[in-house]
Amino acid sequence: MRFRLGLTGSIGMGKSTTARLFADLGCAVWDADAAVHRLYGPGGAAVAPMQALFPEAVTDQGVDRTILRDILARSPELIGKIEAIVHPLVQQDRLAFMHAHPGKIGVFDIPLLFETGGDVGMDAVACVTVSPEIQKKRVMDRGTMSEKQFQQILARQYPIAEKIARSDYVIETDTLEHASAQVQDVLADIERRLNDA
């Protein structure tokens, strides 16, 4: 892989949309959430160890994330046990992706990039951001979680100001056009860095 760009930000800030913008410009994009979906799906590598811990959360379709989210809402201290199973498997998936795209600029969409130390393996980090009001509206408009669940997720993530301070690039996702222009600027800068190396 020619260059590894970590893409992070807090929930509802536009990571997925920004990742698609990078993909549209020819980058290879690896999505941590999609990797977890594969691991949780039928026959996925995380299903058996998760079933041993949370048998009620596993069905014929794999790990049911809604049931898992309800379990965590009742017992948030269990998140560490889940992470101990899932994070090493996600790391293996990411390494396989990198080997499969040797000549590409890779974009790694990882919500908990800094929290899990994933930034260490990146050449640079881009953080997406938007106002707290837009962020909350986006998450609540999805209709997939309560405000309490939203706040629990926020509590597990570093504050956005800290993520921005630790990032090489910041992409504001207030509008699609603004985000697109910034993605193009980031890629142009990366190409310059590669040419100067």
Residue % of the chain over a pLDDT of 90: 80
List, for residues 1-18, the tens digit of each pLDDT value.
899 999 999 999 999 999
**Can you give the residue ranges of every domain in the chain?**
1-26+106-190, 28-103
List, for residues 15-58, the tens digit of each pLDDT value.
999 999 999 999 999 999 999 999 999 999 999 999 999 999 99
Write down the residue that tokens 């939203």 correspond to.
150
The dotted CATH code for 1-26+106-190 is 3.40.50.300
Burial class (CB in 10 A: 0-12, 13-18, 19+), 175: exposed
The DSSP annotation for 70-136 comes to HHHHH-GGGHHHHHHHHHHHHHHHHHHHHHH-TTSEEEEE-TTTTTTTGGGG-SEEEEEE--HHHHH
List, for residues 53-62, the tens digit of each pLDDT value.
999 999 999 9
Describe the crossing of helices 65-74 and 147-156 by its angle, rounded to 10 degrees: 80
